[in-house]
Amino acid sequence: MSAVPGVPSSGAGRARRRHLPVAAAPRDWRWQLRHATTTVAGLERALALSADERAGAVRAERAGLPLRVTPYYLGLVDPSDPRCPIRRQVVPHAAEALATPGDLADPLGEAAHEVAPGLVHRYPDRALLLATDQCAIYCRFCTRSRMVGGGVGALPGAALRGAVAWLGGHPEVRDVIVSGGDPLALGTDRLERLVAAVRAVPSVEVIRLATRVPVCLPMRVDRALVRALRPHHPLWVMTHFNHPKELTPEATRALALLVDGGFPVMNQTVLLAGVNDAAATLEALFRGLVRRRVRPYYLMQMDPVSGTGHLRTPLARGVALMEALQGRLSGIALPKLIVDTPGGMGKVPLGPDYVVARAPGRTRLRTHRGVEVEYLDPA
């Protein structure tokens, strides 16, 4: 993988030589899943773990959110630097055992808003279908760490039928987000049947697939998958790139297959301390996404999931970053900064306040250049 312009290398090349070269890894995505690293011993063969990382990995083996990293994604990790932005996303840390004020097991209140098995309804016109509890990798900041990796697997047929029946009885729901876990971790036939079942509900206009597979298992996105899903358009794909190092040639090919297949692709980046909480990093990421025909959609304030305080940033940090990016990026490259409020009360957009003063019929604004301009309302 070539270096990302403007972003210093963190030793990904060394990581590949020490672990498994991406170019030499079998292209079969199932092979990648079978050979994912799931143990402390496996991590130690690839990385020089710090004491905090080893303690976190031992804890992950015993309880809580499991450890799982595909050979491909592990190949992007710097093997000797615990500050590597890819490493911080997937290698457990001892701080996961610490409680932080505001921590919640279910920060979005999904259990309280479950209207059928696997179906969550928090907004009037959309619903969330949890298709599986399995992912290709387990991100240490996962919102659903309470359930992901639990070993249940795909949503059972009876539960899917119940969810579809509920949707059929609620025509106000026009948009269904299929998430999990990661729906693209399912086999193609099973995923196609699930999407077809949702598409058969006449009132459902749009289906969204929320997935991190293009980031951590890009070989999963192949022509067979695109052919199977294309008849069920409009299908949108919501990806989850957090750092420009993830925009590899393999990921670029996966995104091109989706976009060329007619799938609009949007990206939700989670703001993570020590990973992407710098304006230059976010600028490189958002520019790289737009070059790949992916729209930066949300910059998400990280949800207050139990055990993730070491990865969360203060709200003020996100606002400052958005102010730094305003004027440096075009509108198509600048996402909204979003807080998904605790308890499942809905998303709230945040941003810098550019209003200096208000008076009847006139508003004084501050531009990104620091210049104050008066705007007059029509008479």
**pTM (predicted TM-score):** 0.91
pLDDT at 143: 95
Please state which of the ranges 5-19, 29-43, 359-373 shows the lowest mean pLDDT: 5-19
- Assess whether pLDDT exceeds 60 at residue 109: yes
127-151 pLDDT, tens digit each:
999 999 999 999 999 999 999 988 7
pLDDT at 7: 45
Split at pLDDT 50, 70, 90, the class of 5 is: very low
Residue of 130, 84, 244 lying closest to 69 (CA atoms): 84
Q: Is the CB of residue 219 less than 8 Å from the CB of residue 32?
A: yes
Sign of the alpha-carbon torsion through 38, 42, 47, 51? positive
Split at pLDDT 50, 70, 90, the class of 123 is: very high
Q: Establish if 2 belongs to a structural domain.
A: no
- Assess whether pLDDT exceeds 90 at residue 6: no
pLDDT at 186: 97
Average pLDDT over residues 164-189: 97
Do 254 and 341 reside in the same domain of the chain? yes
Q: Establish if 4 belongs to a structural domain.
A: no
169-178 pLDDT, tens digit each:
999 999 999 9
Do 92 and 137 reside in the same domain of the chain? no
Residue 117: is the preceding peptide bond cis (ω within 30°)? no
234-279 pLDDT, tens digit each:
999 999 999 999 999 999 999 999 999 999 999 999 999 999 999 9
pLDDT at 9: 44
55-64 pLDDT, tens digit each:
999 999 998 8
Do 64 and 123 reside in the same domain of the chain? no
pLDDT at 12: 42
Do 48 and 188 reside in the same domain of the chain? no
First to last CA, the chain: 58
Do 231 and 124 reside in the same domain of the chain? yes
- Assess whether pLDDT exceeds 50 at residue 10: no
Tell me the β-bridge partners of 363.
Answer: 358, 375
Last residue in a domain, options 97, 122, 153: 97
pLDDT at 151: 78
280-308 pLDDT, tens digit each:
999 999 999 999 999 999 999 999 999 99
pLDDT at 13: 42
Do 167 and 276 reside in the same domain of the chain? yes
Do 91 and 120 reside in the same domain of the chain? no
Q: Establish if 3 belongs to a structural domain.
A: no
Question: CATH number, domain at 132?
Answer: 3.20.20.70
Do 130 and 19 reside in the same domain of the chain? no
Q: Establish if 103 belongs to a structural domain.
A: no
Please state which of the ranges 8-17, 43-52, 191-200, 276-285 shows the lowest mean pLDDT: 8-17
Split at pLDDT 50, 70, 90, the class of 23 is: very low
Number of domains composing the chain: 2
pLDDT at 15: 40
Q: Establish if 376 belongs to a structural domain.
A: no
pLDDT at 63: 85
What are the structure tokens assigned to 82, written together?
Answer: 């615990």
Do 33 and 134 reside in the same domain of the chain? no
Sign of the alpha-carbon torsion through 342, 346, 351, 357? negative
Mean pLDDT of the chain: 93
Split at pLDDT 50, 70, 90, the class of 152 is: confident
195-224 pLDDT, tens digit each:
999 999 999 999 999 999 999 999 999 999
Q: Establish if 48 belongs to a structural domain.
A: yes
| CB neighbourhood size of 359 (10 A) | 8
Do 272 and 335 reside in the same domain of the chain? yes
- Assess whether pLDDT exceeds 90 at residue 19: no
Q: Establish if 356 belongs to a structural domain.
A: no
pLDDT at 27: 85
CB neighbour list of residue 116: distance below 8 Å, 6 or more residues apart: 159, 162, 163, 165, 166
Q: Which domain holds residue 125?
A: 111-350
What are the structure tokens assigned to 27, written together?
Answer: 């292209």
Average pLDDT over residues 59-79: 94
Do 228 and 271 reside in the same domain of the chain? yes
CB neighbour list of residue 200: distance below 8 Å, 6 or more residues apart: 164
**Annotated catalytic sites, by residue?**
122-123, 126, 135, 139, 142, 144, 303, 340, 347
Do 237 and 183 reside in the same domain of the chain? yes
Q: Establish if 104 belongs to a structural domain.
A: no
Burial of 273 (0-12, 13-18, 19+ CB in 10 A): middle
pLDDT at 150: 83
CB neighbour list of residue 372: distance below 8 Å, 6 or more residues apart: 356, 364, 365, 366
pLDDT at 338: 98
Last residue in a domain, options 50, 72, 97: 97
- Assess whether pLDDT exceeds 60 at residue 360: yes
- Assess whether pLDDT exceeds 80 at residue 3: no
Q: Is the CB of residue 167 less than 8 Å from the CB of residue 200?
A: no
In this structure, what is the dihedral angle of CA atoms 250, 255, 258, 260, given to the nearest 10 degrees?
A: -100
